[in-house]
């Protein structure tokens, strides 16, 4: 394992690398060079109009928040975290930020697909919730109850040591799992949290600069990378996360001893070096990056170059482009088969989704009469392509599932 291979690996752990190779994949697709896909950019303006209509309906003032985990901590439009956090007596702004990092990181990592049979009944609101919204509120309630803390006088934190002892039974209690209310991948979720705890303990320079090891320690690591005016570029948030969370993922590609995370092989992506065939996507880490912007800004750190992050290659955005005819399968029968996330069909779909989000965002803004400053990519996603993808799926398929069946371990989609 050469140091040059390690350097090449690190070059893939950036938003810029995701964007570069995604646009290259789209160009290959436009030239007819992908085995599975056709691309029709003439359908993109119509798709932009569809998304713009969804944004106008949901956000008549066009004040669209970021696509972040915090949106899921609301029930019937009532924010369950913000007022509780505002009412708490924090030691200082950094203490609140560390707690919010703790909550966001654990909640996002627990947000793998729940399966269709699971639901969560929130005692405080009386609502029964499913899928991402249910997983979010369940994780919030566990956090508030101190389920991730071993610090007696501070339940609202996630301690690395507590995570290393996390069991499927403990998660089952928190998520109301039973024989009649099964949650997909329960043991896998517990194992993921245990690996997160181990990563925190192994890297004190990232997770324990100002406190005991905890996921929220990444707040201090990011503040260290801000400039002398407390400004932090969005892509740097991602780079810190990819460095810190690399060891958390199982059975992923490595290069030069470096964990590559959400990075996959595709034969069309040719290079004359060790990164030949590799397509970085980093979807979950980028969603987490967007989710950390608000805690950073509440603590006084200005996040710049937010659009330096990319759109998210997940099935709502990718499904939107399929359902509205921008992307079509050369063989329609492929939509009937289950595909592993590592298959070139899925890798190409996800990479082109990232590039198409860059292409559609200016068209959506033009439809709405706003600029990128007023509606950054994170808001286009929220308002937006993700919501429109969900709606397009519901209009076309019973149950509103994606147009492709993906075999996933829950850490990709």
The token pair at 145 is 């109850």
**Cα(192)–Cα(307) distance, rounded to whole angstroms?**
29
CA distance 71 to 48: 23
CB < 8 Å & 24+ apart, contacts of 217-221: 217/98, 217/101, 218/101, 218/105, 218/244, 218/292, 219/94, 219/97, 219/98, 219/101, 219/295, 219/296, 219/299, 220/94, 220/98
pLDDT in tens, 261-314: 999 999 999 999 999 999 999 999 999 999 999 999 999 999 999 999 999 998
2 pLDDT band, cuts 50/70/90, is: low
Tokens 């799992």 belong to 177
Host domain of residue 51: 3-407
Which of these, 193, 234, 221, lies nearest to 105 by C-alpha position? 193
Residue 412 in any domain: the answer is no
Inside any domain, residue 323: yes
C-beta of residue 186 within 8 angstroms of C-beta of residue 171: yes
Question: Which residues partner with 187 through β-bridges?
Answer: none
pLDDT for 4-63, tens place per residue?
A: 999 999 999 999 999 999 999 999 999 999 999 999 999 999 999 999 999 999 999 999
Inter-residue contact 159 to 149 (CB < 8 Å)? yes
Length of the chain: 413
pLDDT at position 1 over 60: no
Is pLDDT of 132 > 90? no
Is 305 part of any domain?
yes
Q: Using CA atoms, how far apart are residues 115 and 220, in angstroms rounded to an integer?
A: 36
What mean pLDDT do residues 119-147 have? 95
Identify whether 413 is part of a domain. Answer: no
The strand pairing partners of 303, in sequence order, are 232
Number of structural domains the chain divides into: 1
pLDDT (tens digit, 9 = 90+) per residue, 152-168? 899 999 999 999 999 99
Tell me the C-alpha distance between 46 and 364, whole Å.
10
Alpha carbons within 13 angstroms on the beta-carbon side of residue 307 total 15
Q: Is the residue at 237 inside a domain?
A: yes
Pick from 163, 63, 154: nearest CA to 368: 63
Mean pLDDT calculated for residue range 234-254: 93
pLDDT at 59: 97
């Amino acid at each position: 394992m050469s140091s040059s291979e390690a350097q090449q690996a690190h070059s893939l752990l950036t938003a810029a690398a995701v964007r570069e190779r995604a646009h290259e994949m789209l160009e290959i697709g436009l030239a007819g060079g992908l085995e599975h896909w056709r691309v029709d950019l003439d359908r993109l303006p119509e798709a932009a109009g569809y998304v713009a209509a969804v944004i106008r309906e949901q956000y008549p003032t066009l004040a669209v928040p970021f696509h972040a985990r915090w949106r899921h901590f609301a029930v019937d439009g009532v924010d369950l975290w913000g007022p509780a956090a505002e009412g708490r007596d924090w030691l200082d702004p950094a203490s609140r930020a560390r707690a919010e990092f703790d909550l966001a990181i654990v909640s996002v990592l627990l947000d793998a697909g729940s399966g269709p049979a699971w639901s969560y009944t929130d005692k405080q609101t009386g609502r029964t919730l499913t899928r991402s919204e249910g997983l979010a509120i369940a994780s919030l309630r566990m956090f508030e109850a101190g389920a991730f803390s071993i610090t007696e006088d501070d339940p609202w934190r996630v301690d690395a040591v507590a995570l290393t002892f996390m069991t499927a039974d403990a998660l089952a209690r928190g998520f109301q799992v039973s024989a009649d209310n099964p949650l997909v991948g329960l043991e896998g979720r517990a194992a993921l949290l245990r690996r997160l705890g181990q990563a925190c303990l192994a890297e004190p320079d990232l997770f324990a600069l100002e406190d005991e090891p905890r996921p929220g320690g990444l707040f201090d690591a990011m503040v260290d990378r801000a400039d002398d005016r407390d400004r932090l570029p969005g892509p740097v948030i991602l780079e810190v996360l990819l460095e810190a969370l690399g060891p958390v993922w199982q059975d992923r590609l490595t290069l030069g001893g470096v964990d590559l995370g959400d990075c996959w092989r595709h034969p069309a992506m040719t290079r004359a070096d060790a990164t030949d065939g590799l397509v970085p996507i980093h979807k979950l880490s980028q969603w987490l990056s967007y989710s950390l912007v608000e805690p950073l800004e509440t603590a006084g750190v200005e996040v710049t170059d937010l659009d330096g992050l990319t759109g998210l290659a997940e099935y709502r955005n990718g499904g939107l482009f399929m359902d509205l005819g921008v992307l079509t399968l050369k063989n329609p029968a492929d939509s009937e088969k289950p595909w592993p996330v590592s298959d070139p069909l899925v890798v190409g779909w996800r990479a082109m989704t990232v590039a198409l989000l860059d292409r559609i965002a200016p068209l959506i803004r033009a439809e709405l009469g706003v600029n990128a400053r007023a509606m950054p990519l994170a808001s286009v996603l929220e308002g937006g392509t993700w919501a429109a993808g969900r709606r397009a799926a519901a209009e076309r398929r019973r149950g509103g599932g994606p147009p492709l069946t993906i075999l996933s371990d829950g850490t990709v989609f």
